[in-house]
Structures are given as structure tokens and as C-alpha cells.
Amino acid sequence: MASSRTLQLVLVTPETTLLNEPVDSLRLPMFDGQLGIYPSRAPAVGRLGAGELRVTAGGATRSYYIDGGFVQVKGATVSVLTNRAIASSALDPRVVEQELEATRKQAAVSDEEFDRKAEELAKARRKLNLARKGR
């Protein structure tokens, strides 16, 4: 359980509860920027973007790639609900580069397809940066 100097992070995907542990702080990719959360933060709800979730606990830092979702801060509990969360140590830069290249090769005919492709390229680039950083 979280003390007054820690937060209780609950990281949930559709498949599992990936984390449920006390942390000192965390940084999240929001839809429109980054959000840092420390103990005693005011309550909040926000829409997540794709990118790095950085968790600091006991002086150690871990990173995860998350792909959208929502965050809720209520008291000392931070609930992160996301479609996908992958530890940065589990990302293989070569595989992520192949995913990026496959996305680049996709044809976009309509405006909607072009927008979707641009969003997928941005996500793949963020994921690749995290994969390279995690190695």
C-alpha cells in the first residue's frame, strides 16, 4: 500500500494487471504532452497518448511503452488503463524498425487513411526511440 510519500500505481491492460505497486513518481505520455505525477498531487483524469511511461521507485527507473488509454489520479492511487503496455527491455529495436518500415510502405489513398498512417508512423517512431534507449 502507498504511504504519504509514495503513490500506488495500478497499470491495467485488457489482458492483465501489469503493475500494482508503490512508486515514488511517474511520467506519462498524454494526448497533448507529458504529465509528471508525484505524491500529494491533486485529483485528475486524462487521456493518454502513445509513448513512454517512466516509473521511479526506490531510486530505480523502469520504462514501458504504452499505447493510449486513460489515467486517473485519486488520492495516492494512480490508475493507468491502456490497450497495450510493453516493458522497454522487451522491445527489440530490429523488430520495431521492421514495423516502422511496414507502416511506411502502406498506401494512403483518402484523407482518413493518410491521417491514420501519420499517427501510426508517429507511434512507431516513439516505440523505436524507447526500444533503442532501453538497450
Q: What span, in angstroms and rounded, lies between the C-alpha atoms of 40 and 64?
A: 23
CATH 2.60.15.10, domain 7-88, yes or no: yes
What pLDDT digit, counting tens, does each position of 72-113 carry? 999 999 999 999 999 999 999 999 999 889 988 988 889 999
Q: To the nearest whole percent, how much of the chain has pLDDT over 90?
A: 70
Q: Is 12 exposed, middle or buried (0-12, 13-18, 19+ CB in 10 A)?
A: middle
Domain ranges of the chain: 7-88, 92-133
What pLDDT is stored for residue 2 in this prediction?
56
3-43 pLDDT per residue, tens = 578 999 999 999 999 999 999 999 999 999 999 999 989 99
Q: What is the pLDDT of residues 43-52, one digit of tens each?
A: 999 999 999 9
**Whether pLDDT at 67 is above 70:** yes
Q: Average per-residue pLDDT in the chain?
A: 92
Does residue 1 surpass a pLDDT of 60?
Answer: no
